[in-house]
């Protein structure tokens, strides 16, 4: 399958000069198992080896001098080093060599000879010295000291200079590849050819060449983005070709909506219309519904499930935790049951006869909707006619888990729901193989949550206010994050907080954390939901979707440790009703400027999409929002922030290619096959496949 032209790049690193059994594991740790991976290492900085005067030596810097050898101090004890004194017109320097060099050293570099030495200078009690120079060369001979030397990632036992040699060898092995980019576009953007870009990558002429905005880096980033987008577009197209049952918009859904005490927002209408469009297209749907907590995703999914029930099919709604599954069940079972739709809740806690009863209802089709946790995709669960799978917080499930559930029916439609707001620029890289509906409008009548950042020393004041509020009937969440290395000490901190709050406020303070069993958690949550507890202290287990409408206060300790999106989601737990709500972000002063700005954003807006966008800007990419956990791919060259303009172009480009040349048989298509193989996104993609 792999084109022959790529063989040298996909050969093992042991095919590189000097990579034997000792070096291979080290190089593999730094780069990866393939020559390609070594070729793709990127210098993170450069060392200049322009000769300087010895008098200008700076402690700790890599410097280069043009010197004459003055004399040798041989070691009297074997374990002592050889010391070689050298000098130029401005000063003296001692070169230090450990190990057994013997007379060989002196023979190669006799007293009186002129040498270019380059290495790290150190000021010590023995004077100015250089231990094991990187280079020591005779200027009369052709010298191989690079004027500007790129510095590569390295590891113990494999210094950057060795890595650089392997990189240069890999570069030599890299063939010219057929051009897969549109030549007109390359010319317009003034981007170099692939191989030329790599030559520049490994031969920087200055610091500016290290910037991701450089043309050669943009070229490599674009290749990577296009390969990825192409893989996703192909996948999406393949899924579309799988015929799936057409599901008409039925009357049940309309009757359900008529029963609701509210009207859909415009965004909800659009999302449902998107879903219904997919249902009627006769192709498998893979749609992500993205929207803040409380934006009304579940209600939209319920209408989709009603359409499926109308068409005599079954739906499954899967949530990552038992609490969430239960809440979903409570939200949708009433309205659905009122119209004769059978709904069951299946979790790990169902045992014995009641469980057998539920399984029978799913198998016979008596239950048209099954809500549950991981329990839903176990082998014993068989559906009568599963047509729709709805997955809440989809990134918290593994692909295998999602696929096992979908495999319980034929060409099952998929709706994934996510409350993690993704900046629009990143949507394509994370969900390029899905269709996306955004619910970017909140149901009316919600008052924004008053948000304040308060330094920890003012804790007593906050507790005092909380006490007053609780006396007036309010309920509050108090979040103690899991942040330290040790879960035990974090848990202890949360327990201490609960005790302290009980002392200050009274007995109505509960504690919920990850070490509790599902039943224990549920019991505490139920006490809080039914207002038997006023304050719920929690580590982050207050799962994003949990709904306690009477809670109006959210206190978050060490808010500076959280991602903005996470803070936003936690804040979303309050302010569900018409009553005034408050969110207090407690922080340990002093705050860095960025941390300050981040907390400010939260105070200024409650639009999750805006917050995500700003967070990305402030952090300049990287692991903004903990995006990696939610599925941001691990790119080699592409930087989701620096190259955000390229993401959209690559997405369009990929769609166009797949439309025009789905099997990649044209001239450019063939070159694109090489590109796909080169980046090999298939493996990575399988992990992120939502369908
Ligand atoms: P999500 O799944 O996005 O967190 P839900 O669908 O669970 O949101 O809705 C959150 C709450 O808001 C529920 O109590 C729901 O009944 C209510 N709700 C949903 N849509 C609307 C709307 N358009 N107007 C008023 N309330 C709504
Ligand atoms: Mg929800």
Q: Is the CB of 291 under 6 A from ligand 1?
A: yes
The pLDDT tens digits for 191-224 are 999 999 999 999 999 989 999 999 999 999 999 9
Residues 6 or more apart whose Cβ sits within 8 Å of residue 29: 155
The pLDDT tens digits for 151-175 are 999 999 999 999 999 999 999 999 9
CB of 348 within 8 A of CB of 323?
Answer: no
- H or E stretch covering 177: none
Q: Is the CB of 262 under 6 A from ligand 1?
A: yes
Q: Provide the Cα torsion 214, 219, 220, 226; round to 10°.
A: 140
Residue bearing the CA closest to ligand 1, atom 26: 443
Give the Å distance between the CA of 296 and the centre of ligand 2.
7
% the chain with pLDDT above 70: 94
Q: Which of 443, 574, 577 to probe ligand 1 with, by most ligand atoms within 8 A of CB?
A: 443
- At the topology level, CATH places domain 50-143 in OB fold (Dihydrolipoamide Acetyltransferase, E2P) (2.40.50)
Residue bearing the CA closest to ligand 1, atom 18: 296
- Using only C-alpha atoms, the chain has a radius of gyration, in whole angstroms, of 32
Whether the pLDDT of residue 621 is over 60: the answer is no
Residue 237: its pLDDT value, please? Answer: 87
Residue bearing the CA closest to ligand 1, atom 19: 296
What φ, ψ does residue 140 adopt, rounded to 5°?
-75, -25
CATH superfamily of 285-439: P-loop containing nucleotide triphosphate hydrolases (3.40.50.300)
Residue 679: its pLDDT value, please? Answer: 92
Q: Which of 296, 390, 551 to probe ligand 1 with, by most ligand atoms within 8 A of CB?
A: 296
Q: Is the CB of 64 under 6 A from ligand 1?
A: no
Residue 630: its pLDDT value, please? Answer: 54
Residue 567: its pLDDT value, please? Answer: 86
The pLDDT tens digits for 440-469 are 888 887 778 999 999 999 999 999 999 999
Q: Is the CB of 327 under 6 A from ligand 1?
A: no
Give the Å distance between the CA of 294 and the centre of ligand 1.
5
CB of 294 within 8 A of CB of 370?
Answer: no
Q: What b/e sequence results for 236-267 when a residue is b if at least 16 CB atoms lie within 10 Å of its CB, and e otherwise?
A: beebbeeebbebebbebbeebbeeeeeebbeb
% the chain with pLDDT above 90: 61
Band (pLDDT 50/70/90 cuts) for residue 607 is: confident
DSSP structure string for 338-405: TTT--EEEE-TT--HHHHHHHHHHHHHTS-SEEEESGGGGSTT---SSEEEEEEETGGGS-HHHHHHH
Give the Å distance between the CA of 301 and the centre of ligand 2.
10
Q: Is the CB of 298 under 6 A from ligand 1?
A: yes
Q: Nearest Cα to 450, choosing from 546, 555, 321?
A: 555
The pLDDT tens digits for 42-70 are 999 999 898 999 999 999 999 999 999 99
Residue ranges per domain, the chain? 4-45+154-210, 50-143, 285-439, 449-605
Q: How far apart are the first and last CA of the chain?
A: 25
For 132-240, strand residue ranges (E) read: 135-137, 148-151
Hey, what CATH class is 449-605 in?
Answer: alpha beta
Q: Between β-strands 62-73 and 51-52, what pairing exists: parallel, antiparallel or unpaired?
A: parallel
Band (pLDDT 50/70/90 cuts) for residue 628 is: low
The pLDDT tens digits for 100-146 are 766 788 889 999 999 999 999 999 988 899 999 999 999 888 777 88
Q: What b/e sequence results for 27-53 when a residue is b if at least 16 CB atoms lie within 10 Å of its CB, and e otherwise?
A: bbebbeebbbbbbbbbbeebbebebbe
pTM across the whole model: 0.77
Residue 288: its pLDDT value, please? Answer: 92
Residue 84: its pLDDT value, please? Answer: 95
The pLDDT tens digits for 559-581 are 888 778 778 888 888 877 677 89
The residues with which 386 forms a beta bridge, in sequence order, are 314
What would the two tokens of residue 584 be? Answer: 């207090």
Q: Is the CB of 82 under 6 A from ligand 1?
A: no
Q: Is the CB of 297 under 6 A from ligand 1?
A: yes
What would the two tokens of residue 213 be? Answer: 């905005």
Residue bearing the CA closest to ligand 1, atom 20: 296
Residue bearing the CA closest to ligand 1, atom 10: 294
The pLDDT tens digits for 391-410 are 998 777 766 777 788 888 88
DSSP structure string for 217-269: HHHHHHHHHHHHHHHHHHHHHHHHHSB-------HHHHHHHHHSSSPPPHHHH
The pLDDT tens digits for 28-44 are 999 999 999 999 999 99
Q: Do domains 50-143 and 449-605 have the same CATH topology?
A: no
The arithmetic mean of pLDDT across residues 354-376, rounded, is 95
- Tokens 């690559």 map to which residue? 650
Burial class (CB in 10 A: 0-12, 13-18, 19+), 615: buried
Whether the pLDDT of residue 489 is over 80: the answer is no
Residue bearing the CA closest to ligand 1, atom 6: 296
Q: Which atom of ligand 1 is nearest to the CA of 445?
A: 25
Cα 50 from Cα 135, distance rounded (Å): 12
Q: Which of 77-81, 140-144, 380-384, 598-602 has the highest mean pLDDT?
A: 380-384
Band (pLDDT 50/70/90 cuts) for residue 690 is: very low
Q: Is the CB of 264 under 6 A from ligand 1?
A: yes
Burial class (CB in 10 A: 0-12, 13-18, 19+), 488: exposed
Residue 484: its pLDDT value, please? Answer: 61
Give the Å distance between the CA of 268 and the centre of ligand 1.
10
């Amino acid at each position: 399958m792999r084109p022959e032209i790529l063989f040298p790049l996909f050969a093992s690193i042991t095919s590189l000069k000097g990579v034997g059994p000792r070096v291979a594991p080290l190089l593999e740790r730094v780069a990866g198992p393939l020559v390609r991976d070594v070729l793709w290492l990127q210098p993170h900085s450069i060392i200049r080896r322009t000769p300087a005067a010895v008098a200008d030596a700076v402690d700790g810097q890599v410097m280069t001098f043009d010197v004459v050898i003055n004399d040798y101090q041989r070691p009297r004890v074997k374990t002592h080093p050889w010391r070689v004194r050298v000098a130029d017109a401005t000063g003296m320097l001692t070169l230090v060599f450990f190990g057994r060099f013997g007379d060989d050293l002196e023979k190669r570099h006799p007293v009186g000879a002129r040498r270019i030495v380059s290495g790290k200078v150190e000021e010590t009690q023995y004077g100015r010295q250089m231990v094991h120079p990187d280079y020591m060369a005779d200027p009369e001979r052709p010298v191989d000291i690079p004027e500007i030397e790129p510095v590569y990632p390295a590891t113990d036992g494999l210094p950057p200079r060795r890595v650089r040699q392997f990189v240069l060898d890999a570069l030599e092995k890299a063939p010219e590849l057929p051009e897969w980019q549109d030549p007109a576009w390359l010319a317009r953007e003034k981007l170099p050819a692939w191989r030329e870009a790599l030559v520049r990558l490994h031969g920087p002429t200055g610091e500016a060449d290290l910037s991701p905005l450089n043309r050669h880096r943009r070229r490599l980033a674009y290749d990577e983005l296009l390969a990825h987008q192409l893989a996703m577009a192909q996948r999406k197209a393949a899924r579309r070709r799988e015929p799936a049952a057409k599901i008409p918009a039925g009357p049940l859904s309309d009757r359900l909506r008529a029963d609701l005490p509210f009207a859909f927002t415009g965004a909800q209408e659009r999302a449902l219309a998107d879903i219904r469009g997919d249902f009627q297209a006769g192709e498998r749907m893979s749609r992500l519904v993205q929207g803040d907590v409380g934006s009304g995703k579940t209600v939209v999914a319920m209408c989709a499930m009603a359409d499926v029930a109308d068409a005599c099919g079954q739906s499954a709604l899967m949530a990552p935790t038992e609490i969430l599954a239960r809440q979903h069940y409570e939200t949708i079972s009433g309205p659905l049951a009122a119209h004769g739709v059978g709904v069951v809740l299946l979790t790990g806690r169902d045992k014995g006869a009641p469980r057998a009863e539920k399984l029978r209802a799913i198998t016979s089709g008596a239950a048209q909707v099954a809500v549950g946790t991981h329990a839903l995709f176990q082998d014993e669960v068989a559906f009568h006619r599963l047509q729709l799978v709805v997955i809440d917080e989809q990134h918290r499930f593994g692909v295998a888990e999602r696929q096992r559930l979908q495999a319980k029916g034929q060409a099952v439609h998929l709706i994934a729901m996510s409350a993690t707001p993704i900046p629009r620029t990143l949507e394509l890289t994370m969900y390029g193989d899905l269709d996306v509906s955004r619910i970017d409008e909140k149901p009316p009548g919600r008052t924004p949550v008053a948000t304040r950042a308060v330094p920890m020393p003012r804790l007593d004041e906050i507790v005092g206010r909380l006490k007053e509020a609780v006396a007036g009937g309010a309920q509050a969440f108090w979040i103690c994050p899991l942040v330290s290395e040790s879960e035990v000490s974090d848990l202890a901190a949360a327990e201490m907080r609960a005790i302290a709050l009980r002392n200050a406020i009274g007995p109505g303070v509960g504690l919920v954390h990850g070490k509790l069993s599902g039943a224990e958690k549920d019991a505490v949550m139920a006490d809080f939901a039914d207002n038997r507890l006023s304050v719920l202290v929690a580590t982050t287990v207050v799962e994003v979707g949990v709904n306690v409408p009477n809670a109006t206060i959210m206190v978050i300790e060490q808010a500076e440790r959280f991602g903005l999106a996470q803070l936003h989601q936690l804040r979303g737990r309050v302010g569900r009703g018409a009553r005034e709500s408050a969110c207090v972000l407690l922080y340990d002063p002093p705050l860095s400027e960025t941390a300050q700005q981040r907390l400010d954003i939260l105070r200024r807006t409650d639009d999750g999409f805006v917050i995500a966008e700003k967070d990305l800007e402030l952090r300049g990419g990287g692991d903004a929002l903990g995006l990696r956990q939610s599925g941001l791919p691990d790119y080699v060259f592409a930087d989701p922030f620096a190259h955000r303009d390229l993401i959209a172009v690559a997405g369009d480009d990929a769609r166009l290619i797949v439309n025009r040349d789905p099997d990649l048989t044209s001239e450019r298509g063939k070159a694109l096959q090489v590109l796909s193989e080169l980046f090999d996104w298939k493996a990575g993609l399988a992990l992120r496949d939502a369908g």
